[in-house]
Structure 1
Amino acid sequence: MPMGAHFELHIEQGPILEAEKKKKKKKKKIGVMQGVQAYNRQCEELTERTTDAHTGTTPLSRRANALLLASKLILHSHRRATAHSALASTGVLTLAPGSTNTIPGHVRFSLDIRSPEDSVITTLEEELKRDLAALAAGEDIGGLHAGGTAGRSEALEVAWQTDSQTTVTRFHEDCIKTVREAAVEVLGGVEDLIRDVKSGAGHDSVYASKHCPTSMIFVPCREGVSHNPTEYASAEDC
């Protein structure tokens, strides 16, 4: 049977509602979900074309240091995301051969880009692809070589792959209105205890919204922790 509408109660998975609840010294704070931001998950690989070099015998200027180049792009992604009021994060970083006296010749790392605007995701991806290629060619982007050296980054092969991506999800206005009205009633008519929010994380409701009117209700969680054994939301807040 087709669903007429879909509503989902969920912890915020972030620290904002809990912080506001404490700041206002009130018993409750409810987030009325407007939608879910877009994300783009990338995987980058940097591989030396020759062989791994020794840390004690290879001058800095002669090194094709895949980890150093990856570090520069990770820092650069943080700066570019900040400039666009977006998010860029690296949660996976693997390198080989994994020896204390060998310069890493192969590095693989993730790049998770998120924004409430689809156009920002597209712009950030284009900028970072362009700048990674420029850095690998030895160019100094944003002063990232300052105080050091570009080395022989041109000796690195660069691969960029999109693992998954989504567009911005905007929830149904009628469902949003219903959640807000119910929240106001539950909270004794105190609208100040309600906050309109967009989720930074993905949810089942994203997929439900493709089939029926949808919205979500966010409640505070302790210290914003989720996907962890210490995740907790009080019965009172729920």
Structure 2
Amino acid sequence: MAEAPIRLLIADDHPIVRDGIRGMFAGDPGFEVLAEAGDGAQAVELARALNPDVILMDLRMPKMDGVMAIKELARLGVAARVLVLTTYDTDKDVLPAVEAGATGYLLKDTQRDDLIRAVRTAARGEAVLSPSVATRLLGQVRAPADPLSARELEVLELIAQGTTNREVAARLFISEATVKSHLLHIYTKLGVNDRAAAVAVAFRRGLLDLGNDG
């Protein structure tokens, strides 16, 4: 008896991209495209209603982006595997998606045969990563090395103690504008958007010591 087809949901805010992805699976009895979503919120709604095996998820979409959608699917207990399919492979995109629970992460220039193989792999619950993404993740594992300068670490240590920008500036004898500049560099290097997240990531990576009193 033939195996049941792998049931797919395609989530991307560009209709032409959705058409292209759908076309890759058209005519293959091993797959069934259940529906298409134009944003993350719609993807979550359709996933709850249709219970697909694999969701092909873009990252940058309106209303709710891909990472938020992945988190929401996990929160709701939706069992579908999420295979990110995007044009972005920066740390800022890859790490949050993987940490949110994505089973795989591929780039949109992936060849059809590779995509089909990846979807089958994801449907089995096995991780699948494009080579550039795998290299980035390995780099994070091998070298959680301090990407921050000594001055940036000083700023971050003070921020972790609840110090304001003005107080940091006074302690380090620099201007508030310079403190803000250091913070922006810290956010970029750690792939975060605010002070709390920067401190949390820094502790997780061992850049800050919980017992450090400055």
Normalised TM-score (structure 1): 0.22
The structure in which a higher percent of residues are helix is 2
Q: Which has the larger radius of gyration?
A: 1
Q: Which has the higher contact order (CA 8 A, sep 6+)?
A: 1
The structure in which a higher percent of residues are strand is 1
